[in-house]
Amino acid sequence: MAEQQNSRLYKLKPLTDRLPAVKRPEGHVHFRTKIMWVVLMLVFYFIMTNVFLYGLDQENIIDIFGPYRAILAGAQGSLMHLGIGPIVTASIIMQLFVGAKIIKLDLTNDEDKAVYQGAQKFLVIVMILVESIPQVFGYLVPSATLVTGLDSVTGAEGLFSGENLARIILIAQLFLGSYLVFLMDEIVSKWGIGSGISLFIAAGVAQAIFTGTFNWNPIDGSAALSTVNPPAGTIPKTIYLLTNMSASQLSSGGYEQILLQNPNPVVALVGTIIIFLFVSYVESARIELPLAHGTARGARGRYPIKLLYASNIPVILMAAVLANISMFAFLFYTNDFLSQIPLLGHNAWLGYFTEQSGSTPAGGLAWYLSTPRGLADWLLPLLNPEAYADVVFGHNSLQILTRVVVYFGVMVGGSIVFAKFWIMTTNMGPEAVARQIENSGLQIPGFRRDPRVLKRVLERYIPVVTVISGALVGALAAGADLIGTVGNASGTGVLLAVGILIQFYEALGREQMMEMHPMLRGFFGGE
């Protein structure tokens, strides 16, 4: 009770209790009903990615989330323009505050946990506004038709001018789309199977990989198909260049264009397949603790502690952090208002952007933390600096290698930190797992049936596996980004998609098992 009084978040409870939310089912939800909700939300997600913002000038969009589109499950210029960015950012902030004891809440307490979830929901709304307002007033331009139409009603000058009202209309649509995504995630979590956010990421990445592999449209849609403007997809591009280039053309640069050059080279497709197979193997690696029932003699089981114990959540959180760093660096450098802020505004050390780089950092801290787009983004400039100087915006070999090391190190270190925070905030730590095993009537053979004993046994494994899990997913994601993937899905995106699909398959198996054996629901946390 003392912790409840110490936490100021309880003052938000009257407000958060009134926010739109999805009601939790009162009893068991049938397996078929869960599948129906999952499919329905996926269909609705794809519909939203194809509903473009009303009144937006589609030809004058600067996409500051471009490199992170697949990971953030967004679609440029649509209701899903922000994707899951605000949700993940709010989750990061709450986890950091709880982990650093700035927010004093005991997440094993149901009431504290409800306050935590309510506060996170409120923070999601704040982050939607934080991410949408700067974009609309800087890089999402209202169409001239809408502005002119509103000017005829309200006038072209003043606070309520047609242009300002048009921007408010765009912000309202972004807010609606992002909050709908939040509610869709709640529907999947409460009425479906798994996490809605994870499913949306997997759907977006799968779409990007399919398009990057089979797209037969030319790279530059405004120009005719040719050997300098081949199909964008890996397979059509390879077939076209092999059939339309002479032997001398292939040997003097054609093979390099097919195998290594962006977009969608063959090495990216091979890298994507290798990542898929490797992650599938790693997901199956686990330690299994033997369990026995305390009263039912002969009843035995196992508690699996996966090598990827923290799942792929640390990588999602790291991707969101890097996306926000890139976004704010771009805003501080190019926005008319923010660029005037002392120290941060127009500071090349934070990150600078050129006309050639667009919304991609051309230097500064943001460049060192930006996601490499395969071998063509760092290895080819190292091997042939003169031909590929424009790709790295004139940086020398030492700076390129430093970027590779910094990006890899930040991904690994950040993933370890977020893995620890995730275990702490999701009841996956030794104490919570020991209590879960105790409540199910099971115990480790040869040990006294006591949660404290179980906790000491689990402390030998879970903290170590958590660190290894975070480091491994961070290294896999960074390594995959350095090798490259098709469809600009990014190595992080492919890693996430594979892990999500495997976990969804396992969740389906558990749901079917609980459907056949209702007594297992209590152990797996079901209703």
The token pair that represents 208 in the structure block: 């990007």
**Could you tell me the sign of the dihedral formed by the alpha carbons of 135, 80, 15, 89, in that order?**
negative
135 and 106 Cβ atoms separated by less than 8 Å? no
In the Cβ-directed half-sphere of 378, how many Cα atoms lie within 13 Å? 21
Domain coordinates in residue numbering, the chain: 1-21+30-192
* CA 179, chain centre distance (Å): 17
Q: Report which DSSP code applies to 70.
A: T
Tally Cβ neighbours within 10 Å of residue 269. 21
What CA–CA distance (Å, rounded) separates 508 from 92?
28
Nearest Cα to Cα of residue 429 among 403, 448, 406, 456: 456
What is residue 1's predicted lDDT score, i.e. its pLDDT?
Answer: 38
Q: What is the pLDDT of residue 472?
A: 92
Cβ-based neighbours of 170, under 8 Å, separated by 6 or more: 53, 55, 56, 136, 140, 142
Q: What is the pLDDT of residues 256-297, one digit of tens each?
A: 889 988 889 999 999 889 888 888 888 888 888 887 766 656
Q: How far is CA 431 from CA 100, 185, 207, 436, 512, in A?
A: 19, 28, 40, 9, 28
d(CA 49, CA 192): 21
pLDDT averaged over 10-residue windows placed end to end, the chain, 527 residues: 58 85 83 91 92 87 74 85 88 78 75 85 92 84 88 77 89 94 91 88 89 92 88 94 91 88 89 87 82 64 82 83 87 85 90 86 93 87 86 91 96 93 82 80 73 84 92 91 86 83 84 66 51
Phi and psi at residue 157, to the nearest 5°: -120, 160
64 within 8 A of 359, measured Cβ to Cβ: yes
Residue 517 is predicted with a pLDDT of: 59
Give just the sign of the alpha carbon dihedral 108, 110, 115, 117: positive
The residue whose two tokens read 């290798």 is 274
The pLDDT value recorded for residue 396 is 92
Tokens 């179980």 found at: 454
pLDDT at 2: 39
Residues 6+ apart with CB under 8 A from 518: 28
What's the chain's Rg over C-alpha atoms? Answer: 25
What pLDDT was estimated at residue 527? 52
The secondary element (H helix, E strand) that includes residue 515 is helix 490-516
Residues 376 and 262: beta-carbon distance below 8 Å: yes
342 φ/ψ sector (left φ>0, alpha ψ -120 to 50, else beta): beta
pTM for the model stands at 0.77
pLDDT at 4: 42
Residue 475 identity: A
Q: Which fold has domain 1-21+30-192?
A: Preprotein translocase SecY subunit (1.10.3370)
